[in-house]
């Protein structure tokens, strides 16, 4: 979390604001606008699970509230009952909490304001600033005009206040079918800003709402509900993404017409992340059409997917702080997110040895039946994490790819006649290769040098490789799920003609390895436990683990492309 929390609500002159939003807030505090209060909100629509883009908005809104000793509300923008669900409400609360933020007792719902919003609409009608329109949705669209042609006025635009009040009340009572009437703001059909061309503010919808049940059959539109919800909650800075920039005149128009408390809307660029999609519509499609196993599939860019994958709240918050906020849209390399989780897990994840593709090695000169407990360091980055004992015996497993019968020059690992180090154990040398009828390598025969216990030769001789390993007899079987990016294309939203984003799903986004061998200390793991498997990457125990057979998700490999990119720059 941000360590420079300003408890006094006064920014010392010397601290540079980190971005343009904080600069605006600094200026407002200085001038005494909003009594120098800072009160933000995070306003999700409960029509899907939160994703990493929402995390940016959460970190910004809750982060600003913390830094300025202000408040941040959690407000559900639940004005479209046909797409919303209590399941989403609950997942959103869980995710915001997990990210480390607290909305106190300020959990609000736009639906709590439906009575008040109805009153506001009636006031607009009374001022002659709203009217009931009988055009169909298609006609409204057609009358609206385009960016280059002005709109046309609805034939219902000049209904009297009395008629409008009467019709609006009857809309509310359920006297008219869905789609037959709307309430529209009476603004300007020739405005250069299409949002100002008599936008719809209420529509008829016979849908049960997850909070208000069947009380309402008319529901306010987003633009109308949002500004007044902000106003009712006395929000000071209403931070939203750039696509709402053109809606700001409308936001201001509603609040000015009714002369109510008026927050400042500020727009910032939404997060786009390479190799994934962040549109809820597309994420829903991935789930409902079975391209992934669920909202929390570790390949999903959702908060719940990242959590199951092994991401920590710290790493996600750190990522959000690093990308900062700007006024212009851009795409962030997924490598930066991976860099942030590596950086965090490097410090905290205990090391363990796991062999993903096992190859059996028998050490011929090691005494049969003997087991030695060798000492292994839990985290070389943090010695306070101590050591553990790893059993060593005559039969071990190493990684298949750590042996080559006919190695090319650059291959320094095990090969016939060659000596390598086994981590925390001994030097071994390969003396024979045993194959099956098909010619596939079944087993290696090696000898070890007892004087190299712990991994160093007293005569000072060197080896070029250190391999991880597990004891055949003592290790346990594990399932390991390797993840690659969900899409093969850097920007799956940018599709070629005749294709959809689904055509770019990576067929190798999930690879399941069923007979991995892990050291016995991993026989008891809790879902969420994270380890660094030496030389392989970071792995997180999955809820699918059962006693005696843990399941691990690979969070991220050890290869940090982002760190390399940074060095080159």
Min dist. Cβ of residue 319 to ligand ATP (A) = 12
Min dist. Cβ of residue 326 to ligand ATP (A) = 11
Cα 53 from chain centroid? 6
Clarify whether 280 is annotated catalytic.
Answer: yes
- Which of 302/521 has CB closer to ligand ATP? 302
Percent helix / strand / coil, the chain, rounded to 5: 30, 25, 45
Among 25, 40, 44, 323, binds ligand ATP (CB under 6 A): 44
Among 9, 82, 90, 279, binds ligand ATP (CB under 6 A): 279
- Which of 33/282 has CB closer to ligand ATP? 282
Task: Tell me the window of 51-59, 117-125, 373-381, 514-522 that interacts with ligand ATP (CB under 6 A).
Answer: 51-59
Per-residue CA distances from 106 to 40, 99, 266 (Å):
11, 17, 22
**Contact between 252 and ligand ATP (CB under 6 A)?**
no
**Contact between 159 and ligand ATP (CB under 6 A)?**
no
- Which of 247/481 has CB closer to ligand ATP? 247
Min dist. Cβ of residue 53 to ligand ATP (A) = 2
Phi, psi at 76, each rounded to 5°: -85, 125
Start-to-end Cα distance in the chain: 28
- Return the residue matching tokens 């030389």: 535
**Contact between 56 and ligand ATP (CB under 6 A)?**
yes
**Contact between 301 and ligand ATP (CB under 6 A)?**
no
- Which of 100/520 has CB closer to ligand ATP? 100
Among 278, 414, 422, 430, binds ligand ATP (CB under 6 A): 278
Clarify whether 234 is annotated catalytic.
Answer: no
**Contact between 53 and ligand ATP (CB under 6 A)?**
yes
Cα–Cα distance for residue pair 222/201, rounded to 1 Å: 8
The answer to whether 47 and 85 are in contact (CB under 8 A) is yes
Cα–Cα distance for residue pair 538/302, rounded to 1 Å: 19
The active-site residue, picked from 106, 152, 157, 270, is 270
Per-residue CA distances from 446 to 200, 209, 421, 427, 474 (Å):
78, 70, 12, 10, 19
- Which of 270/293 has CB closer to ligand ATP? 270
Among 234, 270, 360, 388, binds ligand ATP (CB under 6 A): 270
- Which of 329/401 has CB closer to ligand ATP? 329
Clarify whether 18 is annotated catalytic.
Answer: no
List the interface residues with ligand ATP, window 204-243 (CB under 6 A).
240-241
Min dist. Cβ of residue 279 to ligand ATP (A) = 4
Name the residue among 386, 309, 345, 352 with its Cα closest to residue 533. 352
- Return the residue matching tokens 């206040």: 161
**Contact between 271 and ligand ATP (CB under 6 A)?**
yes
Q: How many CB atoms lie within 10 A of CB 106?
A: 14
Among 54, 186, 237, 468, binds ligand ATP (CB under 6 A): 54
Task: Tell me the window of 49-57, 257-265, 451-459, 496-504 that interacts with ligand ATP (CB under 6 A).
Answer: 49-57
Cα–Cα distance for residue pair 124/257, rounded to 1 Å: 8
Name the residue among 120, 84, 81, 107 with its Cα closest to residue 228. 120
Task: Tell me the window of 53-61, 130-138, 286-294, 514-522 that interacts with ligand ATP (CB under 6 A).
Answer: 53-61
Per-residue CA distances from 222 to 136, 231, 299 (Å):
19, 14, 31
The answer to whether 201 and 223 are in contact (CB under 8 A) is yes
The active-site residue, picked from 172, 181, 280, 418, is 280
- Which of 6/241 has CB closer to ligand ATP? 241
Question: Quick one: tokens of 225?
Answer: 């509900």
Q: At what angle do helices 248-257 and 114-126 cross, to 10 degrees?
A: 80
**Contact between 57 and ligand ATP (CB under 6 A)?**
yes
Burial class (CB in 10 A: 0-12, 13-18, 19+), 36: middle
- Which of 382/493 has CB closer to ligand ATP? 493
**Contact between 39 and ligand ATP (CB under 6 A)?**
no
- Which of 270/348 has CB closer to ligand ATP? 270
Min dist. Cβ of residue 144 to ligand ATP (A) = 21
**Contact between 554 and ligand ATP (CB under 6 A)?**
no
Strands laid side by side in the 419-422 sheet: 466-467, 419-422, 427-435, 441-449, 358-363, 395-399, 470-471
- Which of 181/247 has CB closer to ligand ATP? 247
The answer to whether 484 and 508 are in contact (CB under 8 A) is yes
Q: Site for ligand ATP (CB under 6 A): how many residues? A: 15
**Contact between 96 and ligand ATP (CB under 6 A)?**
no
Min dist. Cβ of residue 116 to ligand ATP (A) = 21
Task: Tell me the window of 40-48, 210-218, 362-370, 544-552 that interacts with ligand ATP (CB under 6 A).
Answer: 40-48
Angle value at C-alpha 345, between 341 and 346, nearest 5 degrees? 115
Task: Tell me the window of 37-45, 62-70, 193-201, 415-423 that interacts with ligand ATP (CB under 6 A).
Answer: 37-45
Output the residue with the shortest Cβ distance to ligand ATP: 53
Cα–Cα distance for residue pair 491/292, rounded to 1 Å: 19
Min dist. Cβ of residue 251 to ligand ATP (A) = 13
DSSP β-bridge partners for residue 330 = 271
**Contact between 307 and ligand ATP (CB under 6 A)?**
no
**Contacts for 133 with CB less than 8 Å, ≥ 6 apart:** 140, 154, 156, 157, 181, 182, 183, 184, 198, 200
Which residues are at the interface with ligand ATP (CB under 6 A)?
43-45, 53-54, 56-57, 240-241, 270-271, 278-281
Residues known to be catalytic:
45, 270, 280
């Amino acid at each position: 979390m941000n360590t420079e929390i300003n408890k006094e609500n006064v920014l010392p002159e010397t601290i540079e604001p980190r971005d343009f939003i904080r600069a605006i807030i600094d200026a407002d505090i200085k001038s005494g606008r909003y009594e120098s209060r800072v009160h933000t909100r995070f306003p999700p629509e409960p029509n899907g699970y939160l994703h990493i883009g929402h995390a940016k908005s959460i970190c910004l809104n809750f982060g600003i509230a913390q830094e300025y000793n202000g408040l941040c509300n959690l407000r559900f923008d639940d004005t479209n009952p046909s797409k919303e669900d209590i399941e989403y409400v609950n997942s959103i609360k869980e995710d915001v909490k997990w990210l480390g933020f607290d909305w106190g007792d300020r959990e609000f719902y736009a639906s709590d304001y439906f009575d008040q919003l109805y009153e506001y609409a009636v006031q607009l009608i009374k001022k002659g600033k709203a009217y009931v329109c009988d055009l169909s949705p298609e006609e409204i669209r057609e009358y609206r005009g385009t960016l280059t042609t002005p709109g046309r006025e609805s034939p219902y635009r000049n209904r009297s206040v009395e008629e409008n009040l009467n019709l609006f009340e009857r809309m509310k009572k359920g006297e008219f079918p869905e789609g037959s009437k709307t309430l529209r703001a009476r603004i300007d059909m020739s405005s250069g800003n299409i949002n100002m061309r008599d936008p719809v503010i209420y529509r008829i919808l016979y849908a049960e709402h997850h909070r208000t049940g069947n009380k309402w059959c008319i529901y306010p539109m987003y633009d109308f509900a949002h500004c007044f919800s902000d106003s009712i909650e006395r929000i000071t800075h209403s931070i939203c993404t750039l696509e709402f920039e053109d809606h700001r005149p409308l936001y201001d128009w509603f609040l000015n017409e009714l002369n109510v408390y008026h927050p400042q809307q500020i727009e910032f660029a939404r997060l786009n992340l390479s190799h994934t999609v962040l549109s809820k519509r597309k994420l829903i499609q991935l789930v409902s059409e079975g391209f992934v196993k669920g909202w929390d599939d570790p390949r999903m860019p959702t908060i719940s997917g990242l959590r199951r994958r092994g991401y920590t709240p710290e790493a996600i918050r750190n990522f959000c702080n690093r990308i900062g906020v700007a006024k212009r849209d851009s795409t962030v390399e997924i490598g930066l997110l991976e860099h942030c989780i590596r950086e965090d897990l490097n410090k905290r994840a205990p090391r363990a040895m796991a062999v993903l593709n096992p190859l059996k090695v028998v050490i011929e000169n090691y005494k049969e039946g003997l087991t030695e407990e060798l000492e292994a360091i839990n985290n070389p980055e943090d010695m306070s994490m101590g050591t553990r004992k790893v059993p060593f015996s005559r039969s071990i497993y190493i990684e298949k790819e750590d042996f080559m019968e006919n190695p090319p020059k650059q291959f320094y690992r095990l090969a016939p006649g060659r000596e390598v180090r086994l981590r925390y154990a001994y030097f071994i040398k390969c003396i024979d290769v045993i194959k099956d009828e098909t010619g596939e390598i079944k087993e290696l025969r090696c000898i070890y040098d007892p004087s190299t216990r712990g991994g160093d030769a007293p005569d000072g001789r060197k080896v070029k490789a250190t391999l991880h390993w597990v004891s055949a007899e003592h290790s346990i079987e594990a399932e390991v799920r390797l993840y690659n990016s969900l899409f093969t294309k850097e920007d799956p939203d940018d599709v070629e003609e005749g294709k959809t984003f689904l055509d770019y799903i990576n067929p190798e986004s999930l690879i399941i390895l069923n007979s991995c061998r892990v050291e016995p200390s991993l026989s008891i793991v809790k879902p969420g436990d994270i380890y660094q498997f030496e030389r392989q990457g970071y792995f997180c125990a999955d809820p699918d683990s059962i006693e005696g057979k843990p399941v691990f998700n690979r969070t991220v490999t050890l290869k940090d492309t982002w760190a390399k990119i940074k060095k080159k720059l």
